[in-house]
Structure 1
Amino acid sequence: MALPWPVLAAAQSVQAAAVTATAPRAMVLDLPTNARRTAAQETDLGSYKVPISRYEQGRIQSVWAEGEVHRQAWQIQAPGLTTLQILAPLRTQLADAGFDTIFECEARDCGGFDFRYATDVLPEPDMHVDLGDFRFISAHRMGSDRPEYITLLVSRSAGRGFVQMIRVGPHIPGDTVLTASTKSPMQGPPQATPVATPQDAAVRPAQEGQTPTLTARLEAQGRAVLEDLDFTPGSATLGQGPFPTLASLASYLKTHPDRSVTLVGHTDAEGSLAANIALSKNRAGAVRQRLADLGVPSGQITADGVGYLSPLTSNLTAEGRSRNRRVEAILDTVQ
């Protein structure tokens, strides 16, 4: 439910801020020297629902913001860094630039899976979100004639950090809304040299020229598509198999009882959203049951579905629709 700006501030405060506000100025957030921008989208005049609450009772409360919209995704080489270590200096920079925090949350407090899929997120692989390890913050400051909003979404994989920034507000010339700095890279805690175990063989990275195994992708990227599944068209009936991806995933989970995954069903864009969400949830549930039949404890697997809300590619072609119909395993364990 979108809430109007007056809900967040008294009318007299907004009026006073508008009188004293200066001309819009670029918001430059310093990132480490090893940061790499992976995606950028700009709209001269657009809108964005700024989340201001956790996901509960089927929705996120939000502020409807209009103006120039910038969306960017960045990746940082950050082995050993936590999401809080990535977010904290950015949060401080926002405060120093005159932004007031409206809302801040951590994965489970945000609403986990539901929050992530109810808010705007740039697509994989440009922006990766670990459902069990992400942080979100929304902030605002008053411009000359309207408020300016920035949201930050931070997550990580085994060796990389991911930062998404969405800014909406008055026009700012140039491409300096978010930039990498020339400061020293972020330093994480010292990393111990790992000791190889027989179980590690299942997740060992592929050699050059080889395709990474499913479990290697799961460990490195936090997610993996179960590419060989076969469903009856239009139904959640899973074929008899055998399916090597399920055998591999089952083996991984049984040898790593401290790990858990969320199975997420996806569809193409044919049909209504409600019908596709129901179908995607049922297909993820069928995969969960098959993994349980293979001996995986039920406590290590959850299942959900998002219909056509998170496509891998365009639904305009038959090939694209085929790729978008899938079930993904998302590693939701936080070490």
Structure 2
Amino acid sequence: MIRALPLCLAGCLLASSAWADLELTFPGPATETFSEVEPFASYKLPVGPYADGFVQTLVAEGQQITRAWRIAIDVGTSLLVMDNLRQQLEASGFELLYECTTEICGGFDFRFTTDVLPEPVMHVDLGDFRYLAAQRLGGAVPEYISLFVSRGSDTAFVQMILVGSPEATSVTAQSGEADEQLPPVVPNVVAGSVIEALLRDGHAVLDDLQFETGSSALGEGAFQSLSDLSEYLKANPEFRIALVGHTDAEGSLQGNVSLSRKRAQSVAVRLVKKFDIPSKQIEAEGVGYLAPRANNLTETGRTQNRRVEVIITSTQE
């Protein structure tokens, strides 16, 4: 749940801002993975951590620029990437509103109750991400910006959302070196398997799992998805995953979140006890009916929504 404090950017169609365009320079070759401009949008800008079931936000209204980049970076941490970008924002006149790291932000709950682009255009390591919100005042219209930064093994991921006047700031991003396209990962896995989907999209549904009706108890079947997943995790001990439980929309949110979390935990226990996967490679959470993949008004849709997904959270020790 996101609790918003209303902040209407009145006069968003006034004369252009006195501020110059925002220029960002990344610490390595950058590939833009997403770019979208909405002429008028309402963005709930997080300005506090996830706590007591909600994230405190400010509602910024105006033109919204959403962009994401993947940056080739051999050394450095998410902290170094964020520090570099923060300094550039401050040099451009932005003032910090809120900044947090993974645990302080609220971890899983913060990431999944804020606006984050999906894999593969934006990857968020649930064990290593950083968030920043800032404002720039003094022009005809205030401007608000948020940054998400996370790391892969040799790649940094950055998401930026900027809200302000249509006549105000545009964003220019450049690499420390000439931009280059990163070569795609071509995994040696079986076509159509859960691992192929996981490495291609960053997440995959474990479609063959079966639970007793209304129960978190995982059936005793020989589930191919878990066999494939365990083999890959054993061969790649640097991989970390999250199991995320989902339900249909019948019943209360609180009850469904609890059930979905317990089902994800049941899958984690099976991987640890039956397949000998180290528990440090797995985390389990549940989001109830908050992320449906089909219409809850039909039985077919409700069946599709009752699922456990696996997502990659890290490829680092």
TM (normalized to structure 1)? 0.72
Secondary structure in 2 matching 1:116: helix
Q: State the partner residue of 2:177.
A: 184
Tell me, yes or no, if the aligned pair for 1:263 and 1:330 is still in contact at 8 Å.
no
Q: Which moved more, 1:39-48 or 1:243-252?
A: 243-252
Q: What is the CA-CA distance between 1:134 and the residue it aligns to?
A: 0.8
> Which of 250, 257, 260 does residue 277 from structure 1 map onto?
257
In the alignment, what sits opposite 2:125? 130
1:250 & 1:279 partners in 2: Cα distance? 24
Residue of structure 1 equivalent to 2:309: 327
Q: Which is worse superposed, 225-234 or 315-324?
A: 315-324
**Pairing 1:2–2:15 present:** no
- The CA distance in 1 between the partners of 2:31 and 2:311, in whole Å, is 26
Change (3 A) 1:220 1:49: same
Q: Secondary structure at the match of 1:171?
A: coil
Question: Which runs of 5 or more residues in structure 1 are unaligned?
Answer: 7-20, 187-203
Counting only pairs closer than 5 Å after superposition, residues 1-335 of structure 1 correspond to structure 2 as 1-3=3-5, 22-23=17-18, 25-31=20-26, 34-172=29-167, 177-181=170-174, 183-184=176-177, 206-207=187-188, 211=191, 225-231=205-211, 236-250=216-230, 261-267=241-247, 273-274=253-254, 276-294=256-274, 295-296=276-277, 298=279, 301-310=282-291, 315=295, 322=304, 325-332=307-314, 334-335=316-317
Gaps of 5+ in 2: 9-15, 180-184
The number of equivalent residue pairs is: 300
Give the AA of the match of 1:229: L
Once superposed, what is the RMSD of the aligned Cα atoms? 3.9
- Going from structure 1 to structure 2, the CA distance change for 1:68 and 1:256 (only over 3 Å counts) comes to closer
CA distance in 2, matches of 1:33, 1:290: 41
- Mapped partners of 2:71, 2:237: distance in 1: 29
Distance 2:200 2:178 in 1: 21
Tell me how far apart the structure 2 counterparts of residues 156 and 328 of structure 1 sit (CA, whole Å).
Answer: 19
As a proportion of its length, which structure holds more helix?
A: 1
CA 1:110/1:334 → structure 2, altered by over 3 Å: closer, same or farther? farther
The letter of the residue matching 2:309 is: V
Partner SS for 1:87: helix
Partners in 1 of 2:213 and 2:57 — Cα distance?
A: 37
How far off is 1:269 after superposition? 6.4
**CA apart distance, 1:251:** 5.1
Quick check: 233-242 or 220-229, which moved more? 220-229
| AA aligned opposite 2:4 | A
The residue number in structure 2 matching 1:194 is none
| CA contact 1:24–1:170 (8 Å) conserved in 2 | no
Deviation at 1:140, TM superposition (A): 0.5
The alignment-based identity, stated in percent, is 43
Cα separation, 2, equivalents of 1:236 and 1:319: 20
Q: Would the aligned equivalents of 2:207 and 2:307 in 1 still touch at CA under 8 Å?
A: no
Residue 55 of structure 2 aligns to a residue whose secondary structure is coil
Partners of 1:293 and 1:49 in 2: CA distance? 42
Partner letter of residue 328 of structure 1?
A: V
Pair 157,278 (structure 1): closer, same or farther in 2 beyond 3 Å: same
How far apart, in 1, do the equivalents of 2:37 and 2:118 lie?
15
CA distance in 2, matches of 1:41, 1:315: 27
Once the 2 structures are TM-superposed, how far is the Cα of residue 153 of structure 1 from its aligned partner?
A: 0.1
Tell me the CA shift for residue 136 of structure 1: 0.8
Residue 262 of structure 1: how far off its partner (Å) = 2.9
**Cα distance change of structure 1 residues 128 and 242 upon mapping to structure 2, 3 Å threshold:** same
CA contact (8 A) 1:51 1:63 kept: yes
| Higher relative strand content | 2
Query: Offset at 1:258?
Result: 7.7
Calculate the TM-score normalised by the size of structure 2.
0.75
Alignment check: 8 A CA contact 1:281 1:303 kept: yes
The CA deviation string for residues 268-306 of structure 1, in whole angstroms up to 9 with x for no partner, is 667765555344323212212322431445565432112
In structure 2, give the amino acid aligned to 1:265.
G
For each residue in 1:210-256, what CA deviation from the matched residue of structure 2 results, as whole angstroms up to 9, or x when unmatched?
Answer: 64976688789865543543345765443322123323444566687
